[in-house]
Amino acid sequence: MKRDQKIFLIKFFVALIAMYLLVAWNPVNDHVIVPATKAIAVAAGALLHAIGQNVIVNGTTIASSRFAVNINNGCNGIEAMLILLAAIGAFPASWRARLIGLGIGALIVQFINEIRIISLYLIGAYKPSLFQIFHTAVWQVVVILAAIVFFLQWSARVAPNRLANGS
Amino acid sequence: MPRIDWQTALKGLAGFIVAVVIWVGVSPLYDRAVAAGAELLMRTFESPKVTHLTATGTDVKVDRSDFDPRSPRPGLPVIDLTFNWVLLAALFAINPRPFSDRNMLRFAIASLLMYVTHILALATEVMSIYVLRLGAWSRVHYGAFARNFWGTANHSYRFVLMFAIAFGLWWALRPTTLTRPPATLSRSRGRGSEEPSRSTRKASRRRARS
C-alpha cells in the first residue's frame, strides 16, 4: 500500500469516527437525524400509497393491517452517507468537487434507501419469511455498496491519476 | 481508481449473490468459531473466568457461571455482526481478475482479519449486555464510564464501523499493479517503454542477422 493510500485510510477512519460521534450526540440525533428519518418515512409512505398500499405513516413507522416497519438508524441511509462523506472528505480533491460529489452521492444513497424501505415493507407484508435476510444482509450491503461504488466513480473522475494503483 | 463499467458491476453483483448464499449456508458453523474466539478472549481478561458463549445455530447464548441458574440467558444473533463479509466479498469481486491467485489470497487474508474483528465485535456486544441490559446487576457491577464506553463501542460497530472495516480491508489489501501516469508513458515512448521503437527493432534485427 502506497503512502497516500495509507493517509487516505487514516483520514477516512478519523473522519468517520468524528462524524459518528457527532450524529450519535443526542441534540444532533433529536434535531437532525430523527426529523430526517421522519421525512424519509413520509416519502416512502407516499410511494407505497402510489402503488396501492394502504399504509399510515406515524413518525418513523410505516404501518398497515398487514405489516409495519419502523425506520431506525441503520435503515435511514445515514450510515451510508457517513461512509460516503468520510471517503470523499479524506480523498484529495477540490472543495467544489467534494461538495458536488456529496450532493449527488447523498441523492443516490437516499433514492436507493427509499427503494429499500418500500421493498422491505412489501417483503414483510407478502413474503415475511424472506424479511430477515433481506433486512440484514441484502439491503444494508446494497446501500453501502452503492455509496462505495459512487465514491470510486467520483474519485476516478476527479483525480484519475491520484491514488491510482492499477485497479 | 477503478472506473465501474457494466462488466465490473456484473462481477460485483455476481460476487454479492454468491457471497450471500455462502454466508447464509456457513453462518451456523461460523457463529461457533466466532463464539469460541470471543469466549476465549473474554475469559483471558476475566477473573474468575465465568463467561460461557454457546452458539445454538440461530444465535449465541450468553451465560455466566455466577448467574442465578433460574434466570433466562440472553441470546445474540451473531449474523447481525458478521454480514459485512458479504460486502467484503462483493468488493473483492469487482477487482480486475477476481479469480487470480493474488486476489484470492488477499481476499483470504482480509477474511481472516475480518474474523478477528468479528470476535472483537461479539466480545463488545456481550460486554454491552453486561453493562447495560441486566438491570440491577449491571448497575451494581459497572459504572457510568463502562456503560458509555461499551455502549458506544457496540453501537458504532453496528452503525458504521462494520462497513468501514470491510471497505478498509478491501482498500488496503486489493491487489495492486504498477501503472505509470500518462505523462511518463508518452515521455518514455521510443526510449525505454515496453513497446520498442522502430529504430530499436531494426537494430535488433541487424544484430540477429550478424
For A71-96, write each residue's pLDDT tens digit.
988 889 999 999 999 999 999 999 99
**Residues B117-168: tens digit of each pLDDT:** 999 999 999 999 999 988 888 999 999 999 999 999 999 999 999 999 999 9
Whether the predicted interface score ipTM is above 0.85: yes
Indicate whether A140 belongs to any domain: yes
Indicate whether A167 belongs to any domain: no
Indicate whether A166 belongs to any domain: no
Indicate whether A86 belongs to any domain: yes
Given a contact cutoff of 8 angstroms between Cβ atoms, the answer to whether B23 and A137 are in contact is yes
Residues of chain A with C-beta less than 8 angstroms from the C-beta of B176: 1-2, 165-167
B207: cell is 544484430
Given a contact cutoff of 8 angstroms between Cβ atoms, the answer to whether B167 and B91 are in contact is yes
Query: A104 is in which domain, residue-wise?
Result: 3-158
Measure A14 CA to nearest chain B CA, in Å: 11
Measure A70 CA to nearest chain B CA, in Å: 16
Indicate whether A165 belongs to any domain: no
Helices B6-45, A139-158: crossing angle, 10 deg rounding? 120
Residues of chain B with C-beta less than 8 angstroms from the C-beta of A87: 167
- Residue from the list A74, A82, A148 with its beta carbon closest to the beta carbon of B158: A74
CB pairs < 8 Å spanning A and B: 110
Q: Which stretches of chain B are assigned E, i.e. beta strand?
A: 51-55, 60-64, 75-76
**Residues B51-64: tens digit of each pLDDT:** 999 999 889 999 99
Residue A162, pLDDT > 60, answer no
* Cut 0.90: pTM above it: no
Indicate whether A163 belongs to any domain: no
Count the domains in chain A.
1
A71: cell is 425506520
Verify whether the Cβ–Cβ distance B164 to A136 is below 8 Å: no
Q: List Cβ neighbours of B86 (8 Å cut-off, separation of 6 or more).
A: A137, A141, B16, B19, B20, B23
Indicate whether A56 belongs to any domain: yes
Instruction: Tell me the pLDDT band of B188, cut-offs 50, 70 and 90.
Output: very low
- Residue from the list A16, A136, A165 with its beta carbon closest to the beta carbon of B80: A136
**Residues B27-83: tens digit of each pLDDT:** 999 999 999 999 999 999 998 999 999 999 889 999 998 888 888 888 899 999 999
> ∠A12-A82-A10 over CA atoms, to 5°?
10
